[in-house]
């Protein structure tokens, strides 16, 4: 069965267009939408029972902004000009892979920093949709640890790049 990502109607496997709304449905679209529905169901099961501690939305935003504000502050203190390279920021995570700085530089040239942004976006989404405070706390700690590792990785990458001159 193929589920239309646009209207949610279940269609037979052989159809190329949704019988409900006419949207083109590929096997990949149907697979991705099915995974999205499974993730949504998993997140809804995470609802905190009455009386259980929940992280408020304002608390989530405050902590998320503090984390990114810390990254900005460290970057400004380290070298204000580095703020201009902010779109490439996630490449610092690649320094910790096998091959270190060389892999990170290859990733920088190949656009792999986009994977890092997807990781941060996914963690941010999870932080804002989970209900239980302890689940939020675990995801937030992972988020902050990755930000710190990224800052350290960027610093190592800059030192390596300066050695190339």
Instruction: State the chain's mean pLDDT as an integer.
Output: 81
pLDDT at 29 over 80: no
pTM tops 0.75, yes or no: no
Closest to 94 in 3D by CA, of 85, 105, 110: 105
Which pLDDT score, from 0 to 100, does residue 101 have?
A: 78
8 Å CB contact between 64 and 137:
no
Fill in the DSSP letter of residue 143: H
Kindly list the distances between the CA atom of residue 165 and the CA atoms of 44, 58, 159, in Å, as whole numbers in the listed order: 53, 47, 11
pLDDT at 38 over 80: no
Which pLDDT score, from 0 to 100, does residue 30 have?
A: 65
Q: What is the pLDDT of residues 92-122, one digit of tens each?
A: 888 887 878 777 777 778 888 888 899 999 9
State how far the Cα of 159 lies from the Cα of 56, in Å rounded to an integer.
41
pLDDT at 142 over 90: yes
Q: What is the pLDDT of residues 46-57, one digit of tens each?
A: 555 555 567 788
Which pLDDT score, from 0 to 100, does residue 51 have?
A: 52
Residues with Cβ within 8 Å of 123's Cβ and at least 6 positions away in sequence, in order, are: 139, 142, 143, 146
Which pLDDT score, from 0 to 100, does residue 155 have?
A: 84
Closest to 146 in 3D by CA, of 105, 94, 107, 110: 94
Domain ranges of the chain: 1-45, 48-164
Residue 26: count of CB within 10 angstroms of its CB: 11
């Amino acid at each position: 069965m193929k589920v239309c990502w646009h209207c949610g109607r279940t269609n037979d496997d052989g159809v190329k267009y949704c019988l409900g709304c006419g949207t083109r449905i590929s096997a990949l679209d149907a697979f991705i939408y099915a995974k999205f529905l499974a993730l949504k169901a998993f997140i809804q099961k995470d609802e905190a029972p009455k009386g259980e501690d929940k992280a408020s939305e304002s608390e989530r935003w405050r902590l998320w902004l503090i984390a990114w504000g810390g990254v900005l502050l460290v970057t400004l203190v380290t070298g204000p000009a580095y703020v201009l390279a902010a779109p490439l920021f996630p490449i610092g995570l690649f320094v910790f892979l096998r091959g270190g700085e060389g892999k990170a530089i290859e990733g920088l040239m190949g656009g792999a920093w986009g994977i890092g942004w997807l990781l941060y976006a996914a963690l941010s989404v999870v932080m804002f949709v989970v209900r239980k405070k302890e689940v939020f706390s675990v995801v937030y700690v992972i988020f902050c640890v990755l930000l710190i590792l990224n800052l350290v990785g960027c610093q190592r990458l800059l030192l390596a790049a300066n050695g190339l001159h």
